[in-house]
Chains A and B, each alone.
Chain A
């Protein structure tokens, strides 16, 4: 199984400041057929289901604010919130869909400092 490891477990950021979340996979999730990373980011707010934020490691889902960006390739990925807003308080998960079983990172809780 591909193990997804997120860091940190939690972080507190001031409003308007940058938040950076890391995700590392135990093997590469870059697919040679199309050179796309099978890496997704979700946002989960309290009491709600997860919401798709970013796929192919760096493509924002329709409607997602451009303060959210994803980067990385192979085994190392980053989700950045460029200017944290109050509504961004949530837990963020990465997930790989390179192979079964589909696996998620443990989550990173983002709070306001």
Chain B
């Protein structure tokens, strides 16, 4: 069974840091392109960023709202995706989901075919 499990959320002060993890199972993680998507309480979905597989260069793209503050990385030996969040602001409060790029016709697309359950990050003093 394909599964993504996020962890690491919690309460953090404004200006603080937090590191989220997403452990993958049930598929060949090293080939996957992975994303973080967030959802503020009662709000819609916002794409945070994507990391390609290492064989595709491990390139990362970020939303402007997090560029320079958030860093996405991966550890393929542990089937784990990370989101390092620094200089956190109140507006970063959200449920953070990891999601996988789907493979369609042997090509990867930004179609999120598998999502984790999410982890809540609350930025407040």
B is a partner of A: yes
| A residues apposed to B, CB below 8 Å | 38, 40, 42, 44, 48-52, 55, 61, 93, 95, 97, 100-107
**Can you sample 14 A-B contacts with CB below 8 Å?**
A38-B110, A49-B97, A50-B112, A50-B115, A52-B111, A95-B45, A95-B110, A95-B112, A97-B110, A101-B64, A102-B47, A104-B45, A104-B47, A107-B44
Given contacts A50-B115, A95-B45, 14 further A-B contacts (CB under 8 A): A40-B111, A42-B112, A44-B45, A49-B97, A49-B115, A52-B113, A55-B104, A97-B109, A97-B111, A100-B50, A104-B44, A104-B46, A105-B44, A107-B45
- Is A55 touching B111 in the complex (CB atoms < 8 A)? yes
Contacts of A100 in B (CB 8 A): 50, 61
| Shortest Cβ distance from residue B20 to the other chain A in the assembled complex, whole angstroms | 15
Range of interface residues on B (Cβ < 8 Å): 20 to 34
